[in-house]
Copies of this chain bind each other. A is one copy, B any other.
Amino acid sequence: MSIEARIADLGITLPAPAAPVAAYVPAVEVNGLLHISGQLPFREDGTIVTGRLGQDVDLAQGAEAARRCGIMLIAQIRAALGGDLSRVERIVKLGAFIASTDDFTDQPKVANGASELMQAVFGEAGRHARSAVGVPVLPLGAAVEIDAIVAIRPL
């Protein structure tokens, strides 16, 4: 099954990749490594999942927000690869920042929303290293922000 087929099978329609909210670019490729800028949890209607874990975002909503970041990461990867996701050799690393109250300590379960998506979409190639940390606040009030490093095959 192709990666595009797996994405469809998961009921996911990749969105138009979000434009950076500031003076940078969504992705830079160099020497076979693609660095993807931190992605926010956009909904289909263009709004963002905002709030803080431990306060106004529960665990399921947080994991869903992380999954939305993951979908946007995949959309950015596809755009950077000219539409050809089969060039993904490995999801190398996810960096997950979780907006958290001082006593919320389940950041890994939240970040799993993105990690499980990567494995569902890319299979073995989706198994990545990761860090997940709590932060007090994120751009635009987002609940989650995730960046990524991806290894890609030469053309």
Chain A residues close to B by CB (< 8 Å): 20-28, 30-33, 35-38, 89-90, 92-95, 97, 100-109, 111-112, 115-116, 119, 127-141, 145, 147, 149, 151
Contact A97 B133 (CB under 8 A): yes
30 contacts between A and B (CB under 8 A): A21-B108, A22-B111, A22-B132, A24-B94, A24-B111, A24-B127, A24-B130, A25-B129, A28-B90, A28-B93, A30-B32, A30-B33, A30-B92, A30-B151, A35-B93, A37-B129, A37-B131, A38-B130, A38-B132, A38-B133, A95-B131, A101-B136, A103-B137, A105-B139, A105-B141, A107-B138, A131-B145, A134-B137, A134-B138, A135-B135
A89's contact among B30, B131, B135, B141, by CB below 8 Å, is which?
B30
Given contacts A37-B131, A100-B136, 6 further A-B contacts (CB under 8 A): A28-B127, A31-B33, A35-B92, A100-B137, A131-B145, A133-B135
